[in-house]
Amino acid sequence: MKRTFYLAMILAVAAALGLALVPARAADISLSSLRYDFGVISITIPKLEVRGTDLSEAQLRGILDGTGPGDAVSRVSRLQAASASIPELIMEQDIGGAKQKIVYRDITMDTITAGVISRIRAAGLSGDMSDKAAGAVQFRIGEMVAEGVDIPLSARALTGSVPVPQAVPLAPLYRTMSYRDYVMDLPLGAGQVSVARVTGREAKARPGKEPLLDAMRNVMAMAEKQTAQGGVKSEPSPADMVMMSRVFGFFDNFEYGVIDAEGFKGSVKTGKDSTTFTIARMRFSDQPQHGGLAISDLSVDAGPAKMSLAEFEMRDFSYRDSLRALATMLERGDMAALKTEYTKLIPRLGTIRLKGLSLEAPDTSGRRRQGPPDVIRASVKTMELGFGQQVDGIPTAFRFGAEEFAAPLPASSRESAVRDLIAMGYKAVNLSWLADLAWQQDKEQLTIKALNFSGKDMAAVAFAGQLGNVSKDAFSADTALAQVAWLSATAQRLTMTFENFGGIEKIVAREAGKANKTPEALRREWGTIAAVGLPAILGDSAGAKAITAAVARFVARPGKLGIDIRSRSPDGIGVADAVQVMGAPQALFDKIDVQARAE
């Protein structure tokens, strides 16, 4: 988070300390009134002191004003100094009327060898961002430290280029970084956000196809031109698209590494309402195989509405493939691909997990006319949403589940389902569910590992099965092609289990009361209907008889009911087979094997 401050500081140091040929003896040099204009960013250094360097003042000035020999990378690579200091560094940016100014204080650098600075420290910074529409934002940071800062690599990433960036390995920009006491004041007194401490490691970079500074200058010029013309009025030109591809390509040539932050606090005001939040810890990583976000102990208080979350994790997430695809489409000027191949822009989604979620909010849907509204409280023990095995961006594996979603039933609710549950004696619900599906490309099969739903003191139902002849086209971005593929799928097996945990008894008791009968009498009546009515519908095949017997026994004594169905053909039952038996379910049993049981 806010690593841009460190990248900015490294850029500034790279500009200020680009050194050239090493002369004979060490000396101390003091320069003043230095200014650098990078087009996108300008940097002012009122005073720079370099101690223990073998450069002469003339050589140093030649490097800093660009008149010395060599390119930026070769110049900074020759830096050798015992230490350097910058009492104040001012960085300013103005893009389309959005202005930013950052002032770093008391920057010191220790043991500089071949352009690599062993340690950089800044006492802190203060800054402000202003925009005509959004207003002004002010921020400040306490002590900032970075170790093992590679200035030549920073210069190479900003000013260098290579034909094939992927052929160049990413290299560390620095070993570690940290800062503390970050505070941001929102516009118009709308609130404040603060972070106690941030640390980072393993940030890496490499040059792209075009120098990043040149690409950013060109894109900013294009944006300013469009703003002057009243906004985007047509598709970008091929040259503009190539320009934008270079900027998006930067994300393929840079890794933030791992960032840890702790002690988040925030307060935001909207009119008369205010919201506060805290986060104990947060970790972000964009490493290729282990990217994601983790949050611990999140709390939000918005007056009558409150939320707390013990853990949140988003793992195996990555935006790199999608940005790489976008850069490729832009580089070849393919606007049509942006519309027809949009699924390639979907990032690797990975898995989201949360633990210990608690919600509280006023019930505004009830019938209460006077007094404060009822408070609705809900909690979830664990929840998971996962995507995997993406084909052109479309996930072919899916998992969504929750354990113990609990909530009281508001007595004043107008919802008929809620009122029915209350009438059956339920004061709260406690639900769990799981959907878990995965596609096997080599077998062209979609396996339904689980479709489960259960309610505490109610019942549980679980499905599992397998579909065959599911080709890759089923996951195509072309909806017509995908529809044809799904219509060609076949059902190979299906398993269903229903288990009663007391819900059936409550339903029977309620319906018996309506019919002025005893629960036992109503259960016998339903059992007779099942035993007599199902054969008339299903027929007298062995499979039909097995289902009828199991259902009748379950109705008479509700416990656990299980039904397993398999296609007799290894290819499964397709849409054409289903059409043939439509209206004549007896014919279906000639194509399947059935096992049924009641416990």
User: 3-state SS string over 548-559?
Assistant: HHHHHHHHHCCC
- Residue 360 or 15, more confident: 360
Dump strand ranges (E) for 441-583: 445-455, 459-468, 490-500, 560-567
The whole-number average pLDDT for the span 556-561 is 89
Chain-centroid distance of CA 548 in Å reads: 48
Quote the pLDDT of residue 583. Answer: 64
Is the predicted pLDDT of residue 24 greater than 80, yes or no?
Answer: no
Q: Is the pLDDT of residue 124 over 60?
A: yes
Distance CA 256, CA 287 (A): 8
Query: Has residue 363 got a pLDDT over 80?
Result: no
What pTM was computed for the model?
Answer: 0.80
Three-point CA angle 538, 542, 546, nearest 5°? 75
Helix (H, G, I), strand (E, B) or coil at 337: helix
Whole-angstrom CA distances from 341 to 219, 252, 318, 476 are 24, 20, 19, 10
Pinpoint the alpha helices (H) of 130-284.
151-159, 212-228, 238-250
Both tokens of residue 107?
Answer: 């920057």
| CA 18 – CA 59 distance, rounded (Å) | 10
Single out the residue of 269, 233, 246, 184 nearest to residue 1, CA to CA: 184
If DSSP codes are grouped into helix, strand and coil, which group holds residue 221?
helix
* Integer Cα distance of 476 and 468 in angstroms: 17
On whether the CB atoms of residues 255 and 284 are closer than 8 A, the answer is no
Residue 210: count of CB within 10 angstroms of its CB: 20
Percent of the chain past pLDDT 70, that is, above it, reads 88
Cα distances (Å, whole numbers) of residue 354 to 266, 271, 380, 384, 385: 21, 31, 9, 7, 9
DSSP 85-101: EEEEEEEEEEETTEEEE
Helix 151-159, helix 4-16: angle, nearest 10: 100
What average pLDDT does the chain have?
84
> 384 pairs with which residues across the strands?
353, 401
What are the structure tokens assigned to 548, written together?
Answer: 């009828």
The answer to whether 380 touches 357, Cβ cutoff 8 Å, is yes
On the CB side of 9, how many CA atoms lie within 13 Å of its CA?
A: 36
Cβ atoms 215, 208 nearer than 8 A: yes
How distant is the alpha carbon of residue 245 from its chain centre?
A: 23
Rounded to an integer, the average pLDDT of 519-537 is: 83
Count CB neighbours of 33 within 10 A: 9
The answer to whether 43 and 12 have CB atoms below 8 angstroms apart is yes
Least confident of 17-21, 247-251, 454-458: 17-21
Return the beta strands (E) in 54-159 as ranges. 80-95, 98-113, 116-131, 135-141, 144-150
- The percentage of residues in the chain with a pLDDT greater than 90, rounded to a whole number, is 37
> What would the pLDDT profile of 344-357 be if each residue is shown by its tens digit?
888 888 899 999 99
For the segment 156-206, what is each residue's pLDDT rounded down to a tens digit? 888 888 888 888 888 999 999 999 999 999 887 788 999 999 999 989 988
Q: Long-range CB contacts (< 8 A, 24+ apart) of 275-278?
A: 275/300, 275/301, 275/302, 275/303, 276/300, 276/301, 277/301
Q: Are 493 and 567 in contact (CB under 8 A)?
A: yes
Residue owning tokens 């800093």: 64
441-447 long-range Cβ contacts below 8 angstroms, 24+ apart: 441/389, 441/391, 441/396, 441/472, 444/468, 444/469, 444/470, 444/471, 445/470, 445/492, 446/470, 446/474, 446/489
Residue-wise pLDDT for 207-263, tens only, equals 888 787 777 777 777 766 666 666 555 677 777 777 777 777 777 788 888 999 999
Taking the CB of residue 92, how many other CB atoms lie within 10 A of it?
A: 15
